[in-house]
Amino acid sequence: MWILVTAIAPIAWGSGYVVTHSLLPAESPLWGGVLRALPAGLIVLLLARRLPRGSWWWRSLVLGTLNVGGFFVLVYVAGQRLPSSLAATLMSASAACMLLFAWLLLRRRPRLAAVVGATVGLVGVGVMLGFDAEGADPWGVAASLGAMVASSIGFVLTARWGSDVPALPMTAWQLVAGSIVLLPAAVLVEGAPPALTVPSALGFAYLTLVATALAYVAWFAGLRRLSPGAVGVVGLLNPVTGVVLGVAVAGEAFGVPQAAGVGLVLVGIVLGAAPAGRAARLGTAPSALQSRT
């Protein structure tokens, strides 16, 4: 069950590349992050009705900067500069990245099934990528990889620190904190917020409600109950969604390599996540949030 709940997040995030590329203003990544995160954070905070206490004030700022502030800006840049399928494909390296940081920060040795699943999934996204990387915007590629590293560290730290915090307040605190970090930078660098058209307003509404509020609650709920390896492998649904929507909505190329790659990614998800799901039903799965604080 929690695998399916967690899967909501990467599917929503994968769809965000098409929305960003097609509907949002290209020159406002900082304001784009604020307009996406702040309304979502306030909505979730109203639902959670709980403020941080003690060390969670500074922890929220750290996690908000990694998971929201930096991540949203970099993803916005990647979504504007790269085809949706390529931007999502590059982000898929987070499966292996989360395994590495979980090993370093949580001292959790990755399960063999998770390593195999992540490896198969990465092979799949490499096949999906094919020759699309030729001539890709280097700043877009750097932004996508930077977003992947920042969020992987942030998600693992969330798993390390968040054993006593439910998903709703965890989501609210990080979204609001990330917005607080971004807001002064947006004003200083980009000036006034961009004027919204009907398409851009609809795009921000989707990103705020679905790809941020709903997606982060689902993701943090999964982090509470699944191992980082399983969560990272489920995250491979991000590039699958990006490729499918890139083809269906933006008319991007899709052939035999892309179809084979999607199949390998799905196999990787099953290999990496299914054993953790069975263990969880038996009550023996080690939760990422029960490791170390």
The 10s digit of each residue's pLDDT in 184-209 is: 999 999 999 999 999 999 999 999 99
pLDDT score, position 286: 35
Please give the tally of structural domains in the chain: 1
Render each residue's pLDDT in the chain as its tens digit; 293 residues: 788 888 898 899 888 888 988 899 888 999 999 999 999 999 999 999 999 999 999 999 999 999 999 999 998 998 888 877 777 777 767 767 777 777 777 777 777 777 787 788 778 777 766 655 555 788 888 898 899 889 889 988 888 887 788 889 999 999 999 999 999 999 999 999 999 999 999 999 999 999 999 998 998 888 777 776 677 677 778 777 877 887 777 676 667 776 777 777 777 767 765 544 443 433 333 333 333 33
pLDDT score for 174:
95
Q: What is the pLDDT of residue 282?
A: 31
Amino acid 223: pLDDT: 77
Please give the pLDDT value at position 202: 95
- pLDDT given at position 293: 30
Its domain, for residue 186, covers 2-290
Report if pTM > 0.85: no
pLDDT of residue 289: 33
Cα dihedral 240, 251, 142, 62, rounded to 10, equals: -60
